[in-house]
Chain A
Amino acid sequence: MLCYLYPEPTYLIFSSEVPALLYYSHIPTALIALLIALIVFINAPRKLLNRLLGLILLSFVGWIIVNLLTWTIIQGQWILFIWSLYGLLQAAIALISIHFVYVFVRGKAMPISQKMILTGLALPVIFFASSDLNLTGFNISWCDAFGYEGQVYLGYYTLLGGLAFIWIGYLLLQGITKLPKSERLQRIALGFGIEAFLSIFFGGIYIISFLGEQNILVNTDVEFYTLFSMTFFMALVAWLIVKFKTFNVGLSATSALIITLLILTSSQFTYVESRTGLIITTITLILTSILSIFLYNTVRGEITQRKQLQELTTELEKANVRLKTLDKQKSEFVSIASHQLRSPLTSIRGYASMLIEGSFGSIPEKAKEPLERIETSAKRMALAVEDYLNVSRIESGNMKYELADFNLKDEIERICDDVRPTALKAGLVLLFRTNLQSKGIVHADVGKTVQMAHNLINNSIKYTKKGSITVFVRDDLSKKQVYVDVIDSGIGMSQDTIDILFQKFSRADGANKVNTTGTGLGLFVVHKMAEAMDGEITAHSEGEGKGSRFTLTLPLAM
């Protein structure tokens, strides 16, 4: 069944009777699709996303080969056989595209139930490919089968393209607004590319086929233009590969991609027939070359940076492990040393106190002052050792908390009474105020709470030269919390100081001028203790010289 009006093609696909656009639209597009398929598959052959993209592209290349052959060969029976494969290939492109986008969006394979649906949708196309529903005959004069295509079959597999368009659109739009910018951009680029391809390819081919069958459109070679939608899709995929390393494609693949794009752009010279075309192709080649160099350098730079970052991260991880070990050893050392110091200090304080009190007989007046200094120094040292021990216990996780319900207001009032003589001695007024809607019962460790409150009030006394200190106990029933505010008119703090105040060995600017005996550990210990009891400690100050407010928060007992 020879189409006797047409010449026999050379090498199956080269014929003088077909328009040159056929080769320009088919061959470079197929080569680009094959190249991308090869690159994504070689770089990560076990990655499902890459496999699916490869399958879409191979189906598309298959379609191009089929289309090229139906345009050139003149044996009717072969044309019909090849023509009957359009439905299979287009259905494969549509259905695999759905699975591909599913994996791209969700990062996992489609569930079996949905795969079954896709298979079910493909079955009619497979079953009826060789039946009269697909093709019944052939026009020898026109050398085509447009007049014998089954419209139901053609309509069905075109509808699969439409279904893919809608399904993919739904998948792509799901949760897109919640994505980080980079991921959103990737999804938009891929979505735009594949949706443009599906709509132009399926829609265009159906319309052209329909118009051809109705003899409305005599020149059906306009369908060549629909193939450029794949070039557009591939350009976006190439951009994703270069920009975001999507599909796990590395530098070598990027280089291969760029070189091939340049070769393909250069291949346009083969089809150029006019001077204008020559100029446009030359400009395109130059621009593509510049862009390629830029892309190559960008990718190389990013890959180098990534490697350096990985090396640095590995080194930092090792250093971190080493630091943790050293920190643990330091805590153990401090703990042992502090325990060793505490016993002799207790003896020094005790004997000094007994000497002053005259337990060993009267002592000369001259010796009293040195003995009092010994006692005071030993007391300060004992407090410092206690701070070190607390830090050591907190960091080693050995600090024990005995949580119980107790009246915080009563405890704070008692502390104020105890500390008031010290405040008066320093020329300060210590006030105690309450504003409680509840009884002020909290659930915490009494001893630790007293220790924290003592620390805060003593701190205020130390850093206030004149004025007053107000201790204010209040509660908030809606938040189920009790607050202890320690407000002073002391040296105050800047925001920078507040930011680091609760860190180890951190002291306020100018603190040394007022008090030289602090270890810089007290507030760290308070902070850790409050945290451990589901509470918190915060600091506030209007600035240096404007006083401070420390607020200890503890949970109200239920």
Chain B
Amino acid sequence: MDSSSVNKALVIFVCSLAVLTVSASFYRYVVTKDFLVTYEIDCDPAISICYVGCEDDACTEEYYYQEIERYAPTLLGLCGADISECDAANTCMINEVQCTLASCNPIKTPGECVGPNL
């Protein structure tokens, strides 16, 4: 096999793999939506321990939130693509496997949390 043939074989091999991997990515993320999503939900510091966020760069106004991480297809099934008006997005369902509600941890991030006893 001469060097020209080896060259061609290498180029075809790499290009084919690249096309396959791009297709696989497309299938995973766009078609099956096989990924996790994280988003913030409203939090009342009088009841729960919440993260403190800023509404603007100068942080003139604060807001309080918790984070939910869940499997994207579950959320899509509950709320569709837009979760802004979906109450089901604000909590994990009973027996929902990949769903975590994360509150602020005052030990890990002291000063970033606000809550009833803080």
In the complex, the answer to whether B36 meets A148 with C-beta atoms within 8 Å is yes
A456 to chain B minimum Cβ distance, whole angstroms, is 61
Please report the number of residue pairs spanning A and B whose Cβ atoms sit closer than 8 angstroms.
94
Residues of A near B35 (CB, < 8 A) are 76-77, 80, 135-138, 148
In the complex, the answer to whether A76 meets B72 with C-beta atoms within 8 Å is yes
Alpha-carbon distance between A84 and B28 when the two chains are bound, in angstroms:
11
Closest 4 CB pairs of A and B: A137-B36, A4-B84, A130-B24, A140-B39
A285 in contact (CB, < 8 A): no
Q: Quick one: CB contact mask for B69-82 with A, threshold 8 Å, 1 for yes?
A: 10010011000011
In the complex, the answer to whether A88 meets B33 with C-beta atoms within 8 Å is no
Residues of A near B107 (CB, < 8 A) are none
Alpha-carbon distance between A51 and B7 when the two chains are bound, in angstroms:
15
B21 in contact (CB, < 8 A): yes
Chain B: interface size category = 20 to 34
- Pick the contact of B33 from A1, A129, A130, A141 — CB < 8 Å? A1
Give the residues from 15 to 42 in chain B that come closer than 8 angstroms, CB to CB, to chain A.
17-18, 21-22, 24-30, 33, 35-40
Alpha-carbon distance between A88 and B3 when the two chains are bound, in angstroms:
26
In the complex, the answer to whether A1 meets B37 with C-beta atoms within 8 Å is yes
- Pick the contact of A129 from B13, B25, B84 — CB < 8 Å? B25
In the complex, the answer to whether B38 meets A2 with C-beta atoms within 8 Å is no
In the complex, the answer to whether B22 meets A78 with C-beta atoms within 8 Å is no
Alpha-carbon distance between A139 and B33 when the two chains are bound, in angstroms:
14
- Pick the contact of B18 from A88, A135, A140 — CB < 8 Å? A88
Q: Quick one: CB contact mask for A135-164 with B, threshold 8 Å, 1 for yes?
A: 111111100000110000000000000000
B80 to chain A minimum Cβ distance, whole angstroms, is 9
Given A1-B76, A2-B81, the answer on whether A140 and B21 have CB atoms closer than 8 Å is: no
Residues of A near B21 (CB, < 8 A) are 88, 126-127, 129-130
Interface residues of B (CB under 8 A from A): 3, 6-7, 10, 13-14, 17-18, 21-22, 24-30, 33, 35-40, 69, 72, 75-76, 81-84
A447 to chain B minimum Cβ distance, whole angstroms, is 59
Residues of A near B22 (CB, < 8 A) are 85, 88, 129
Residues of A near B6 (CB, < 8 A) are 112
Alpha-carbon distance between A433 and B29 when the two chains are bound, in angstroms:
102
In the complex, the answer to whether A141 meets B40 with C-beta atoms within 8 Å is yes
Q: Quick one: CB contact mask for A75-89 with B, threshold 8 Å, 1 for yes?
A: 111101100110010
A172 in contact (CB, < 8 A): no
Residues of B near A123 (CB, < 8 A) are 17
- Pick the contact of A137 from B14, B18, B38 — CB < 8 Å? B38
- Pick the contact of B37 from A78, A84, A140 — CB < 8 Å? A140
Known: A75-B81, A80-B29, A129-B25. 5 other contacts (CB 8 A): A2-B81, A2-B84, A76-B37, A112-B7, A135-B35
